[in-house]
Chain A
Amino acid sequence: MSDADDRLAGLDPAAHRTYQHADLDAMITRIVAVPVGASSARWQRLQARFAGGLIAATLATALAFVATQGAPSLPALAIQRALTNPSPSFATAIPMKAAEDLHFSAGAAISTRAPSISSYKIDPPESAIAETARLAALFDVSGTPTAVGNGNWTVTGPSGAALNYSNVGVPQWYYSSTSPKVAPAEKSSSVPVPMPSHAALESTVQLFFSKLDYNYALSSPDFSTATTSTTTPAGAPLTVFSETASYSVVVDGIATGQTISFTVNPHNALVSANGPAFNVGSAVPYPLESPRAGVAALAAAEKHTFAAAAKVPVATASVTSNIVSLAPYRLKSGALWLLPLYVYSGSIPGAEGTASRTWSELAVEPTYVTGSSATFEGVSN
């Protein structure tokens, strides 16, 4: 095995982890007792817990200036690649292959009129090391930033508290009050002790968020509690009770695909936090294509995908609604932008019932983007 193979294996998120199902035999009994075609209650719960992540569209374009009739002259968006959150496990961002050749039908609710939603340049901190030092001081982590490769930095204090700064994609910071060298933890969503009120937790969040001094806004929070059982580097058992407030980063009221979260202990002391490090630049009014035109683009992309495929079942998707979000993209110039994205919902009839699906499509008028966008779908039975 080569060094590269060893290092690749070393990144395996499931290495050295055993899986113990709660009760395999009970699961088998449940499954064989359910009539074929029925949707399981567990699956419905899963749908409620996992949401449709937007996987980045990839565009390969050349920088050019374009001007359409009646529209301002704007530089074309020469997109290098789309950026998800700095995915903890990039493998989770691997798009899955579609199972069938889709034809698309846009419902009456899919508008032929394009909305007016701006694109936004992302202004990351000019100096990663300076921002790392600033954030470390903000979270009371004493120490000197140390480079960890590829423009990433870390500061580790004497107590084990750490501030890490990732400069890959949209810059992200991560604060932890405890040593990172702990064994993988088991978690549950309940706590046996009183936790701070949501209002108290939000006060803590506001305290730190104001100090962060980024100009993006936050959605309303989602709260969650957890009991985390792990072991210290010395092997001693450690149980931590925590409450987390998670927010979506929004710009002009639109979700951006970025999140920020703060976790406190029963005493409302911050134990961990993470979020993006950027300011929102000026809004640029790139014209958008209509949602209905976006559906046509979906269809064109799907047709292209399966042009050479054989023995692929054909299905017709009914697209019934759409929303607009902002998603981060890196241009070939290196600049980061938040660009409007249509997120469509619809359904596909099949032998086992109707499946609900989602798709996404870059909303910027294609004449301002040289190249074509990839599209992505989700499904629930």
Chain B
Amino acid sequence: MSSAEEDRFARLVHEHSAAVANYLRRRLYPLTPSDLDDLVEETMVVVWRRLDRVPVDAELPWMLGVARNVLRNARRSKNRRSAFEATLHSPTSDSSAEEYVIGDVSVREALGSLSEDDREILLLNAWDGLDTRALGVYLVISTNAAAVRLSRAQARFRELLSAAEVH
């Protein structure tokens, strides 16, 4: 690797590590600071290995795509029963349960009723701040397709939210 590549990698890390960390934090909770650091670092390891593939005009959504795979790997890596049981502790063992139980239950219910694809694109937009162009990069679809899918997901979410509050 050349010095220019190392410089670019260093810039990517400094500019986007916070967004990557928040992406991870939104999808794996609770996370200790050290676990979060390790997940960020593993993401950056892949970014470094694939530096030549990072699109210059869509760095963050591409890196979030890497983070998605790192997260998947971390959550699904164990291959024995003991590990399976261990992971089952993670959602509740040290959670601030009140946050989740007293939260906006209608919103949570509406999100839970969305399809996985709708929920993914909705939250990428609402939480991670990806616009339709970035969503296209992340999902490997065209910007127009991303815009249509996002619009439909938002409409379905509002319908489900209304329905949840009627009941």
Residues of A within 8 A of B (CB): 2, 4-5, 7-14, 17-19, 21-22, 24-25, 27-28, 30-32, 34, 36-37, 40, 42-43, 45-47, 49-54, 84-92, 94-96, 99, 148-150, 152, 154, 162, 164-166, 168, 172, 174, 176, 180, 182, 185-189, 219, 222, 224, 226, 244, 246, 248, 255, 257-259, 261, 263, 272, 274-275, 321, 323, 325, 343, 345, 352, 356-358, 376-381
B161 at the interface (CB under 8 A from A): yes
Q: Are B81 and A186 in contact (CB under 8 A)?
A: no
How far does the Cβ of A293 sit from chain B's closest Cβ, in whole Å?
Answer: 20
Q: Are A46 and B91 in contact (CB under 8 A)?
A: no
State which size class the interface on B falls in: 35 or more
Chain A residues closer than 8 Å to B95, beta-carbon distance? 88, 274
Q: Are B100 and A88 in contact (CB under 8 A)?
A: yes
Q: Are A323 and B84 in contact (CB under 8 A)?
A: yes
Chain A residues closer than 8 Å to B112, beta-carbon distance? 90, 168
Q: Are B108 and A45 in contact (CB under 8 A)?
A: no
Q: Are B17 and A19 in contact (CB under 8 A)?
A: yes
> Whole-angstrom distance between the alpha carbons of A238 and B151 in the complex?
44
How far does the Cβ of A11 sit from chain B's closest Cβ, in whole Å?
Answer: 6
Q: Which residue of B lies closest to A14 (CB)?
A: B22
Chain B residues closer than 8 Å to A358, beta-carbon distance? 76-79
Q: Are A14 and B26 in contact (CB under 8 A)?
A: yes
> Whole-angstrom distance between the alpha carbons of A314 and B74 in the complex?
22
From 118 to 167 in chain B, residues with beta carbon under 8 angstroms from any chain A beta carbon are: 119-120, 122-123, 126-127, 157-158, 161, 164, 167
Given contacts A53-B87, A94-B119, A323-B81, are A378 and B69 in contact (CB under 8 A)? no
Q: Are A27 and B13 in contact (CB under 8 A)?
A: yes
| 10 chain-A/chain-B pairs, Cβ below 8 angstroms | A19-B22, A42-B42, A46-B74, A50-B90, A87-B91, A88-B91, A180-B98, A255-B84, A261-B89, A378-B77
Q: Are B158 and A46 in contact (CB under 8 A)?
A: no
Q: Are A11 and B84 in contact (CB under 8 A)?
A: no
Q: Are B25 and A154 in contact (CB under 8 A)?
A: no
Chain A residues closer than 8 Å to B90, beta-carbon distance? 50-51, 53
Chain B residues closer than 8 Å to A174, beta-carbon distance? 97-98, 101
B1 at the interface (CB under 8 A from A): yes
B58 at the interface (CB under 8 A from A): no
How far does the Cβ of B133 sit from chain A's closest Cβ, in whole Å?
Answer: 19
Q: Which residue of B lies closest to A275 (CB)?
A: B92
Cross-chain contact of A4 among B79, B96, B157 (Cβ < 8 A): B157
Q: Using A21-B37, A358-B78, A378-B73 as known contacts, list a sample of 13 further A-B pairs with CB atoms less than 8 Å apart, ordered by residue number in A.
A: A22-B34, A52-B76, A53-B75, A86-B100, A89-B29, A92-B27, A94-B116, A94-B123, A150-B109, A180-B99, A219-B85, A244-B93, A343-B81
B36 at the interface (CB under 8 A from A): yes
Q: Are B37 and A226 in contact (CB under 8 A)?
A: no
Cross-chain contact of A52 among B23, B79, B158, B161 (Cβ < 8 A): B79
Specify which of A17, A25, A32 lies most central, judged by the most chain B CB atoms within 10 Å of its CB: A32
Chain A residues closer than 8 Å to B98, beta-carbon distance? 162, 164, 174, 176, 180
How far does the Cβ of B132 sit from chain A's closest Cβ, in whole Å?
Answer: 15
Chain B residues closer than 8 Å to A321, beta-carbon distance? 79
How far does the Cβ of B86 sit from chain A's closest Cβ, in whole Å?
Answer: 5
> Whole-angstrom distance between the alpha carbons of A10 and B127 in the complex?
9
Q: Are B84 and A51 in contact (CB under 8 A)?
A: yes
Cross-chain contact of B38 among A7, A12, A45, A259 (Cβ < 8 A): A45
Q: Which residue of B lies closest to A43 (CB)?
A: B42
Given contacts A21-B40, A90-B112, A255-B85, are A50 and B105 in contact (CB under 8 A)? no
Q: Are B119 and A8 in contact (CB under 8 A)?
A: no
Given contacts A96-B71, A274-B97, are A259 and B116 in contact (CB under 8 A)? no
Q: Are A51 and B26 in contact (CB under 8 A)?
A: no
Chain A residues closer than 8 Å to B116, beta-carbon distance? 94-95
How far does the Cβ of A4 sit from chain B's closest Cβ, in whole Å?
Answer: 5
Q: Are B89 and A222 in contact (CB under 8 A)?
A: yes
Chain B residues closer than 8 Å to A50, beta-carbon distance? 28, 35, 74-75, 77-78, 87, 90
Q: Which residue of B lies closest to A18 (CB)?
A: B18
Q: Are A91 and B105 in contact (CB under 8 A)?
A: no
Q: Are A263 and B26 in contact (CB under 8 A)?
A: no
Q: Are B17 and A21 in contact (CB under 8 A)?
A: yes
B111 at the interface (CB under 8 A from A): yes
Q: Are A356 and B29 in contact (CB under 8 A)?
A: no
How far does the Cβ of B13 sit from chain A's closest Cβ, in whole Å?
Answer: 5
B60 at the interface (CB under 8 A from A): no
B41 at the interface (CB under 8 A from A): yes
How far does the Cβ of B64 sit from chain A's closest Cβ, in whole Å?
Answer: 12
> Whole-angstrom distance between the alpha carbons of A25 and B42 in the complex?
15
Q: Are B29 and A186 in contact (CB under 8 A)?
A: no
Chain A residues closer than 8 Å to B158, beta-carbon distance? 2, 4
